[in-house]
């Protein structure tokens, strides 16, 4: 009788904290904060499938953002995410959030970062899962606001592993945020940028050539540009693909149309993540099951994606 193959260690590189809070936790936080919900919490935070657009998808983050306005709430959400990663076979998880969205009750950027970092530390201690924390600048905000996020990342460099730019790329370009990313590069802080999700290859070129992205969040719209594919392959710029979320936001029409399999086969550094675990009602296990059912993924495919993710992971801050 043969011995079952050992599980493949999983790396999650693209996971938003506000979209990955357990529904039961959100219900608890609402009760603690005296917030009456007019519908079951799952109806408020889990997007329908398909949702139709990124703009609509993002509305399902409104309640989590409203509830994650205290250090205790942020720390709890971060700790529980690490526990969920452990249950999902993750050995290294990177979570990102925009600290500037958590100041409604007076938290500073630094206090928000410290709260998430403390939750991650407790999760690491309990599970053994390695964690990384990324801070998000937002496309619709001003360059000064993004610079403040980058400055916070450098002040908190002992717990922050990278800088990100998120938001609706179809409405807002990345170039106005260059100063924040130049500051990060000067300090040796690695950067990733959401691109090629709601806009085309030009958004990815901008992320690479203007902001110096070492990874691209999503990147599903790269397939029509052969020069871009060559650049991604040559420079080993990892694609943080999130198949079920990409379908849910309308970035791709259906899972059958998702380019991850073709790109992986063609030698591009494709990685697989969940994006927003609660909003998309997903896990890495569900992502790989879906790819296996729709695209015929095997252990070989997942192993290659995990090797890509391990190489692309941002270095953990020194202890």
Percent of residues, the chain, with pLDDT higher than 70: 97
Average pLDDT, the chain: 95
Name the band, by pLDDT with cuts 50, 70 and 90, for residue 157: very high
Does 12 participate in catalysis according to the annotation?
no
Please tell me which residue in 12, 80, 169, 197 is annotated as part of the active site. Answer: 197
| pLDDT value at 1 more than 50 | no
Global pTM value: 0.96
Phi and psi of 141, rounded to 5°?
A: -90, 170
Provide the pLDDT for residue 7. 81
Provide the pLDDT for residue 120. 98
pLDDT tens, 85-103? Answer: 999 999 999 999 999 999 9
Provide the pLDDT for residue 319. 53
CATH for 10-312 is: 3.20.20.140
**Number of neighbouring beta carbons within 10 Å of residue 155:** 12
pLDDT tens, 228-276? Answer: 999 999 999 999 999 999 999 999 999 999 999 999 999 999 999 999 9
DSSP alpha helix (H) spans, the chain: 23-32, 41-45, 54-58, 62-67, 71-87, 109-127, 143-155, 178-186, 201-209, 226-235, 243-248, 260-265, 284-295, 299-312
| pLDDT value at 4 more than 60 | no
């Amino acid at each position: 009788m043969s011995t079952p193959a050992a599980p493949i260690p999983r790396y999650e590189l693209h996971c938003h904290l506000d979209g990955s809070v357990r529904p039961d936790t959100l219900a608890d936080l609402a009760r603690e904060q005296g917030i009456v919900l007019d519908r079951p919490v799952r109806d408020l935070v889990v997007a329908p499938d398909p949702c139709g657009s990124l703009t609509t998808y993002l509305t399902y983050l409104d309640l989590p953002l409203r509830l994650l306005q205290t250090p205790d709430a942020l720390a709890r959400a971060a700790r529980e995410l690490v526990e969920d990663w452990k249950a999902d076979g993750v050995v290294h998880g990177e979570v990102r959030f925009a600290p500037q969205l958590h100041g409604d009750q007076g938290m500073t950027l630094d206090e928000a970062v410290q709260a998430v970092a403390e939750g991650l530390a407790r999760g690491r201690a309990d599970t053994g899962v390695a964690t990384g924390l990324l801070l998000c600048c937002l496309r619709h905000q001003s360059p000064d606001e993004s610079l403040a996020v980058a400055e916070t990342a450098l002040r908190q460099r002992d717990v922050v592993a990278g800088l990100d730019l998120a938001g609706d790329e179809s409405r807002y370009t990345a170039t106005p945020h260059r100063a924040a990313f130049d500051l990060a590069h000067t300090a040796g802080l690695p950067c990733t940028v959401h691109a090629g999700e709601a806009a085309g290859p030009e958004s990815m070129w901008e992320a690479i050539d203007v902001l110096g992205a070492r990874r691209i969040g999503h990147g599903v719209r790269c397939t029509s540009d052969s020069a871009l594919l060559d650049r991604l392959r040559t420079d080993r710029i990892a694609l943080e693909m999130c198949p079920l979320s990409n379908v849910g936001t309308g970035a791709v029409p259906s899972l059958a149309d998702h380019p991850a399999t073709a790109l992986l086969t063609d030698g591009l550094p494709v990685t697989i993540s969940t994006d927003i675990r609660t909003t998309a009602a997903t896990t890495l296990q569900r992502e790989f099951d879906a790819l296996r059912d729709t695209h015929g993924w095997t252990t070989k495919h997942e192993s290659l994606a995990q090797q890509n993710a391990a190489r692309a992971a941002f270095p953990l801050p020194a202890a």
